[in-house]
Amino acid sequence: MRQQVSRLTVLFVILIGALVAARIFLVPETFGELGHFRAAAIGDIADLQVKYAGRAACAECHTDVEETRLAGRHASVSCEACHGPAADHAEDPMARQPEKPVGRALCTLCHGYDPSRPTGFPQIDPAIHNPLQPCTACHQPHAPEPPVTPEGCSGCHGQIARTKAVSHHALLPCTTCHTVEEEHKLNPSASRPTKPAARSFCGRCHAPDATPPPDIIQQVPRVDLATHGGHYVCWQCHYPHFPELR
């Protein structure tokens, strides 16, 4: 019993000693002078360079963008949340132009699906929500609206459209491969669209010497038309609306 008490006492003495030592050696000098912080930090922080101009600054010159933003669903998102810190630009617009965030990374930071986000916050799964295309192709960043689901082909051929949207042919409009008369959308059976009929059709983009339309930005994989797939039509093996082989 006595032994335990003395052990405990020794433990307490060590602990208190450690606390006193910490107070003396580890707490910075000016700590506590003005409050529960290091008084000298005020000067250090004041010396830091200001990087963000703040919401109000941008509106002074970019009134049009500011008005658009305030009227839309991004009213609560500050300019610099997307364009990065821009105090230097606000001071001297010609010194540096803020970045224009293109691509999908910025938007998915907030809109990528995450179960911990509040229900009702607009979220998408970037892997299946119109992959390959930049978000700004369909959404205006300063006043985003979910655009009306495009009518046209997907209104009636939804399954094909959804399949194609996640395939390597996502960027090809339906009309790249089908010629469709206006009449077809009113009276489908009366006017049937054309369908590719020969291997050479796919060769327009996939033959070694083909020159695909310039707006097809991706690298188009090439095959030797004379030997690849024998004499079968390409869609014997590749579903044209999802051509990758799994």
Least spacing, CB of residue 44 vs ligand HEC, in Å: 25
Contact window for ligand HEC (CB under 6 A) among 9-17, 21-29, 39-47, 136-144: 136-144
Does residue number 28 form part of the binding site for ligand HEC (CB under 6 A)? Answer: no
Contact window for ligand HEC (CB under 6 A) among 1-9, 19-27, 40-48, 119-127: 119-127
Least spacing, CB of residue 115 vs ligand HEC, in Å: 14
Does residue number 159 form part of the binding site for ligand HEC (CB under 6 A)? Answer: no
What is the distance of C-alpha 42 from the center of its chain?
Answer: 38
Q: Which of residues 41-60 bind ligand HEC (CB under 6 A)?
A: 53, 57-58, 60
Least spacing, CB of residue 227 vs ligand HEC, in Å: 10
Which of 82, 86, 85 is closest to 103 using CA atoms? Answer: 82
Residues 6+ apart with CB under 8 A from 217: 171
Distance set, CA 126 to CA 108, 133, 151, 152, 182 (Å): 7, 10, 22, 23, 33
| Residue 166 or 223 having the CB closest to ligand HEC | 223
Q: Which of 155, 181, 191, 208 binds ligand HEC (CB under 6 A)?
A: 155
Does residue number 127 form part of the binding site for ligand HEC (CB under 6 A)? Answer: no
Residues 6+ apart with CB under 8 A from 88: 51, 95, 96
Does residue number 113 form part of the binding site for ligand HEC (CB under 6 A)? Answer: no
What is the enclosing helix (H) or strand (E) of 14? helix 2-25
In the beta sheet, which residues pair with residue 239?
242
Q: Which of 40, 143, 161, 166 binds ligand HEC (CB under 6 A)?
A: 161
Collapsed DSSP state (helix, strand, coil) of residue 38: strand
Q: Which of residues 67-106 bind ligand HEC (CB under 6 A)?
A: 69, 73-74, 76-77, 79-83, 86, 89-90, 93, 97-98, 100-102, 104, 106
Amino acid at site 136:
T
Least spacing, CB of residue 113 vs ligand HEC, in Å: 10
Distance set, CA 46 to CA 40, 43, 50 (Å): 10, 5, 9
Contact window for ligand HEC (CB under 6 A) among 22-30, 31-39, 42-50, 200-208: 200-208
Q: Are 85 and 51 in contact (CB under 8 A)?
A: yes
